Structure 1
Amino acid sequence: MLDERKVKLMTRLALYEETEGKEDFKISAYYRKDYVSLHMLCAFIWVTIGYICVVAMAVLAGLDSLLGHMSMAVMVLMGGMAVVGWLAVVIIYLMIASHIYNKKHKNSRQRVKKYNHDLTRLLKMYGRNDSQDSQDLQE
């Protein structure tokens, strides 16, 4: 005879495995620090590439006025502003990315712990049924 609690629990476990579970298992395979560091490195690279593209487009858009006012002082000032702007963008973006990926890893680990707890409950349910079945056979 089917136990309704076991069926509900198995359904919930299967649904989790097919939806959030795939990503959660990948995330929880990493230590939190490693997961966050990896994604912050990727974010650093992509923010730097994006910033270079934006600065290059701005330089190309204002190339006529830049060539008209070109001097060594202006070039040094613009280069310094570009570096300071890059540092500001990178620091802000990495702080945001760190917060997001820490939270994502924490939530993923909590869901995986709940999944493991439910698996343990299911295993105990099967253990109880097996012991009852063996007692019924002995009688």
Structure 2
Amino acid sequence: MINKDKVAVMTKMAAYEAGDGRKNLAVCSYFRGDYVGFQMLKTWIAVTIAFCILFAVYLVYEMDSLMTDFYSIDLLGLGKKFGFAYLALCGVYLLAAFVISQRRYGLALRATVKFDKELDLLSGGEDDGFEEEE
């Protein structure tokens, strides 16, 4: 006979496997440290590119005043100001990437472990916790 409880669990598992299961499997294919490090590396590259674009926009916007006051500008002070801004921006975004990727990995691992337990329960023998209908 068809066990309705097993069919319901299998349907739920198939829906999970088609949706969030693929994402969670991709996340859990890494070690936690590797996944977090990779996410932080991607964040650092994106922040660096964004900062360079913003710096270029600033230079274009201030081109007139930079050209007229070129010899009186404190380049070392300006470099320190932009360096501090870059480090602060990187720090904030890397901290956010660290926290988010740690949480995402934990949730994916928890969901994958739950899926594996349900899979083991379904593949078990007669004593699997499901009652047979007649």
- With the length of structure 2 as denominator, give the TM-score of the two structures: 0.90
Match of 2:68 in 1: 68
Taking the aligned partners of 2:32 and 2:72, their CA distance within structure 1 comes to 47
Structure number with greater Rg is: 1
Query: More helix per residue: 1 or 2?
Result: 1
- Partners of 2:29 and 2:70 lie apart in 1 by 54
Is 1:43–2:37 an aligned residue pair? no
Per-residue Cα deviation, 1:25-53 (whole angstroms, up to 9, x for no partner): 01011111100000101110110010010
Give the letter aligned to residue 40 of structure 2: M
1:1-139 matches, cutoff 5 A: 1-71=1-71, 74-124=74-124, 127-128=125-126
Offset, 1:71: 2.7
Give the superposed CA RMSD. 1.2
Identity of aligned residues (%): 28
What is the match of residue 132 of structure 1?
none
SS of match in other structure, 2:70: coil
Q: More deviation in 13-22 or 75-84?
A: 75-84
How far the C-alpha of 1:72 sits from its partner, in A, is 6.3
CA separation in 1, counterparts of 2:9 and 2:60? 61
Runs of 5+ unmatched residues, structure 1: 130-139
Secondary structure (helix, strand or coil) at the match of 2:74 reads helix
Give the length in aligned residue pairs: 127
